[in-house]
A and B are shown apart, each in its own frame.
Chain A
Amino acid sequence: MSRARADEEEYWHSSKFRAFTFDDEDDELSQLKESKRAVNSLRDIVDDDDDDLEKVSWSGEPVGSISWSIKETASSSSSSSLEGRDTSLQKGSSSYAALPKQVSSYSLSNLFKGRNRLPSLPSLSDAFSDTGAKNYAPELRRPKAEYKDYSNDWSPRDTVRRMQRGKVCSLERFRSLQDKLVLLDEAVAGHDGNVITAVLIFLKRTLRREVLFRELEVRQVALCHLIHFLKETGEQKLLLDLLRFLDRTEEVALSQYREHLNIQDVEKKREFLKGCIGLPFSAEDISHIQDHYTLLERQIIIEANDRHLEMAGQSEIFRKYPRKASILNMPLVTTLFYSCFYHYTEAEGTFSSPTNLKKTFKIPDKQYVLTALAARAKLRAWEDVDALLTTKNWLGYTKKKAPIGFHRVVEILQRNNAPVQVLQEYVRLVDDVETRLNLATKYKCHDVVIDTYRDLKDRIQLMAYKCKVERGSAEEEKINSLLSNMQIRWKN
């Protein structure tokens, strides 16, 4: 070993500022492991099997369960008085209070004190080896020397193996690029992501980024680890540089766009989104980003206006139906619903009008009708519902049309407690006979049921239905007159 090397080594071992050794206090590790074994053998003494006798508090959480207790601590920590805290602790552990206070008599750490420093490990492990038929931690039987070894001459492979087992390893001696890469490849071959990342942290610190990037380009597994590491540590700038280097432009764009999630202030967010429009998204996504920006821009305008209107108390709709939440950062469909609810009659020119939204964002007809219907039905504006579903053909005839299917229309109206007269008009328009009968029966649209059975010429069903309508009602009369109608050729 060269002199310089030895010096360096001494530095790393003596200095308090160990630059890059993944030190885990080797001693403690082995100590821990041998203790684990000893602890296991003590199980019979210590085990008090208290989980069989779980007490359950009124809230259903077992008394003494950890989540229960955290709730307790949290609620008590707000009261600053010491007394309050104490009582809550008592309450929190009725089982604990009853326990004899002789905890330390079998305190485990007492048992181990002084022992783990003894060099005579074999005898200690011998003492425990017969206690159980099973060997819980076989690695403890290895000579202690192995844990103590600080030699820096580990091969890359051994270095990786040691790191996988959580042992100390200085990486500083891997100085040539060749050595570094061999180490990295070994780490990847070892399948332990923790070690791969550790090597990458070392490489990132000791290599110029272009060199690192270049080498990672042909090492996909390692590359994934670095990208994930950069995401987790929030090194956004380096991440973007890396993605640019790799020509992953779409990811560059998405990664930048992602930052908007962390911006609270809407004005700032809007500005940020504006900046995102120029990013190298795929052609398809560009329009989504553009829409996102436009939507937020609209929402800011609408929000300012409506808040003003609501405060002024002049507008009836806002007085009658105060807003539950701000419209900012809501999805487009929610915004459309909002606008159909509060701004339905506005001219297309205003930003808050539904038609304007529909046009700007090219909302499909189906989506529009569905949303407008829900909004108007919620307000019980049945004429609007009627108008929404009415179309005029070129001859001027009107016709009912629903791009979403009339069974959905019925469902929406019903959910908003539409009266039977309104409901049955649309139930009648349901195409599928079976669905129509089902809906009509379910929602007591007697007329539709009766008419449908008449059209089906189903006398038996019609007769059976008679008992479902009120006695002496118009419906009953209608059924009677149909049943006695000689013109109808019943199929049964």
Chain B
Amino acid sequence: MASTARRDAPEPPDFGILKRLARDQLIYLLEQLPGRKDLFIEPDLMSPLDRIANVSVLKQHEVDKLYRVENRPAPSSSDQLCFLVRPRVRTMRYIADVVNADKMSGRSRKYKIIFSPQKFYACEMVLEEEGVFGDVTCDEWSFYLLPLDEDIISMELPEFFRDYFLEGDHRWINSVARALQLLNSLYGPFSRAYGIGRCAKMSYELWRDLEEESESDGQGRKPEIGNIFLMDRDMDYVTALCSQVVYEGLVDDTFRIKCGSVDFGPEVTSSDKSIKVLLNAQDKIFSQIRNEHFSSVFGFLSQKSRNLQAQYDRRQGMDIKQMKNFVSQELKGLKQEHRLLSLHIGACESIMKKKTKQDFQEMIKVEHALLEGFDIRESASFIEEHIDRQVSPIESLRLMCLLSITENGLIPKDYRSLKTQYLQSYGPEHLLTFHNLKHIGLLTEQTAGETLTAVESRVSKLVTDRAAGKITDAFNSLAKKSNFRAISKKLSLIPRVDGEYNLKMPRDMAYVFSGAYTPLSCKIIEQVLERRGWQGLEEVVRLLNGSEFAMADGGLEEGAGGDAQRVVLAVFLGGCTFSEIAALRFLGKERGCRFIFLTTAITSSARMMEAMAEAKA
């Protein structure tokens, strides 16, 4: 990447084909069960499904009624039942119950389970145990990749985070590898691969395995994506824990963007109904403000409103003919723009209202203090008060985690007292949540004289290597140290402030956090791409304790790949946030390259904290 001559970033490849592939396969699977049938859909799959097919497509393939898979007996009267599900044990039990109930009442029907994105052996085991193995047929719908936007592809697997990082289960690595294989076959071959993190490494290796045996005939094809960068979420928890202040991030934190669309409630629409809005590059207003710092959004919106007003006002002096033209040619566009504008203005107002109520300003101040490592006592007591006032269980937890991870753990006294108060404020059962957080390394207690020596890190690195896994997890706990302060210094994540940071004309990626902090994950990507490898970053890698790798494949040298060499597929294992996406989009614009995001799911601090909470079964 040359930073001297500023080139325009290449256009992103067309990912529409991914949708069509998924839809066509689903249709094929539905036709494998000819005749009329009722379709039971896993709630988690409904939104993704909505993005690639609609009811009329299902109806065309003889789907009669649609039901949600839930813990209730199925009211269906159809002779054929089709279940579209994630591979989960409890869903298998639900289906087995349906089948067994039919058996008891002497009813015979056809059952088909379509697993997405893949079937697990454990699921088949459950079906076998429940005595329904031969009664149901199983299929796989390889729906690995959902393009959410022109540059975002999601695997829609939020459970990846908990399954891998908390439970240590490698079940989704195969799915990631297959997703990479598909992308490589459509948009590759990728000529360079970089990565950091144990999961990144394993996914990469499994993907290479798959490629080797598939005798890929990608030779001679013109690639559209030249580079790929894989990163584990646990390389950088800090960024994901910070309050988001770019517009798209704020909208996500406030209203929850689900599968690329958001439900704006009455408080936004200023009417009595909610409106579902698709948020992507097609939204002319949104696409211009999504990556902006919140403070510059207002100005933009009011400027837009004035322009719109002026365009409407032109009607005044028009004669009939002009008016006719205006109505037939411009009015529709203006109305559309007007609708979007008023929605986003409503959203901004609503965000402002909520944030003022929550002492947002003060909270941001505390976060910045934590990131920079000063006023730790004040921050701790702010968090304490936050807990005592029962402001929000998720926010309290998030702040505690941020304190822990920036400080390499809480001092024992703080840990005890904050934990006690948390349990008193939000319920004693959160004891389990604290245990999970400790296990995953998000909220820990400092123990005396603990620093990661070079030897230890080398030993723990062994654990990550292939065929190992035989060393006790004493080393794993070492790997959980964040070393944030040292890394931050090494990579200068806290920008030196000389005067006011101009958020309207950002100079670096730190703008996504008001100029106070450059997201670590994005900084690593920037550095590695710039150096075309990890040379010079050895110390950072040691502190991160990740298994880094860099591979260059094929004989593709400089220039050979053309534009593709300036397209980077950034793969986030365990989720990425909208702030990170905004930061890398900014970097791409600066450096004339294009980032494509592949994430196991869009995440946010709240989603991460919720994944750690122990759910009532």
Contacts and interface: CB of A to CB of B under 8 A. Distances in A.
Interface stretch (A128-136, A341-349, A481-489): A128-136
A124 interface: no
Given A50-B54, A93-B55, A331-B426, A220 B476 contact: yes
Nearest to B47: A67
A181 to B, nearest CB: 11
B59 interface: yes
A121 interface: no
Contact of A141 (B172, B215, B388): B215
A73 interface: yes
B95 to A, nearest CB: 15
A333 B424 contact: yes
A261 B21 contact: no
Interface string A133-165: 111111101100000000000000000010110
A222 B469 contact: yes
Contacts of B67: 70, 73-74
A355 to B, nearest CB: 16
A262 B616 contact: yes
B608 to A, nearest CB: 19
B50 A331 contact: no
A284 B174 CA distance: 40
A274 B414 CA distance: 28
Contact of A257 (B62, B88, B431): B431
Interface in B249-292: 273-277
A367 B388 contact: yes
Contacts of B138: 24
B206 interface: yes
A280 interface: no
B61 interface: yes
Chain A interface main SS type: helix
Q: Which of B20, B182, B469 has the most CB of A within 10 A?
A: B469
A448 interface: no
Interface in B201-255: 202-203, 205-206, 209, 213-218, 221
Nearest to B141: A32
A73 B206 CA distance: 42
A137 B214 CA distance: 9
A107 B30 CA distance: 11
B66 interface: yes
A203 interface: no
Contacts of A185: 467
A229 B171 CA distance: 11
Contacts of B167: 224, 227-228, 231
B124 A22 contact: yes
Interface string A334-370: 1000000000000000000000000001011011001
Interface residues of A, number: 107
A30 interface: no
A296 to B, nearest CB: 9
A441 interface: no
Given A134-B186, A232-B122, A47 B20 contact: yes
Contacts of B427: 329-331
A267 B20 CA distance: 55
Contact of B274 (A60, A93, A103, A408): A60
B206 A221 contact: no
B139 interface: yes
A51 interface: yes
A232 B121 CA distance: 13
B168 interface: yes
A262 B75 CA distance: 26
Interface size class of B (residues with CB under 8 A): 35 or more
A99 interface: yes
A285 B24 contact: no
A69 B274 contact: no
Contacts of A190: 206, 209
A59 B185 contact: no
B138 to A, nearest CB: 7
Contacts of B614: 258, 261
A444 interface: no
A191 B186 contact: no
A191 B206 contact: yes
B346 to A, nearest CB: 14
Contacts of B314: none
Given A138-B185, A192-B174, A221-B170, A40 B89 contact: no
Contacts of A92: 55
Interface in B461-476: 463, 466-467, 469-473, 476
A267 to B, nearest CB: 18
Interface in A211-259: 218-222, 224-225, 227-229, 231-233, 254, 257-258
Interface stretch (A5-13, A287-295, A387-395): A287-295
Interface string B28-56: 11011010000001000011011001111
Nearest to B390: A333
Q: Which of B59, B61, B90, B185 has the most CB of A within 10 A?
A: B59
Contacts of A220: 168, 463, 469-473, 476
Given A220-B470, A291-B423, 15 more contacts: A16-B134, A24-B119, A50-B56, A64-B56, A65-B54, A67-B50, A138-B214, A197-B121, A197-B169, A220-B469, A224-B168, A227-B167, A284-B416, A291-B428, A333-B388
Interface of B: 20-21, 24-25, 27-29, 31-32, 34, 41, 46-47, 49-50, 53-62, 65-68, 75, 88-90, 118-122, 124-126, 134, 137-140, 142, 163, 167-174, 177, 182, 185-186, 202-203, 205-206, 209, 213-218, 221, 273-277, 385, 388-390, 416, 419-421, 423-429, 431-432, 435, 463, 466-467, 469-473, 476, 614-617
7 contacts: A39-B27, A95-B56, A138-B214, A189-B466, A218-B472, A231-B167, A288-B420
Interface of A: 16, 22, 24-25, 28, 32, 35-36, 39-40, 42-43, 46-47, 50-51, 54, 58-62, 64-70, 73-74, 77, 92-93, 95-96, 99, 103, 107-109, 133-139, 141-142, 161, 163-164, 166, 185, 188-198, 201, 218-222, 224-225, 227-229, 231-233, 254, 257-258, 260-262, 284-285, 288-289, 291-292, 295, 329-334, 361, 363-364, 366-367, 370, 404, 408
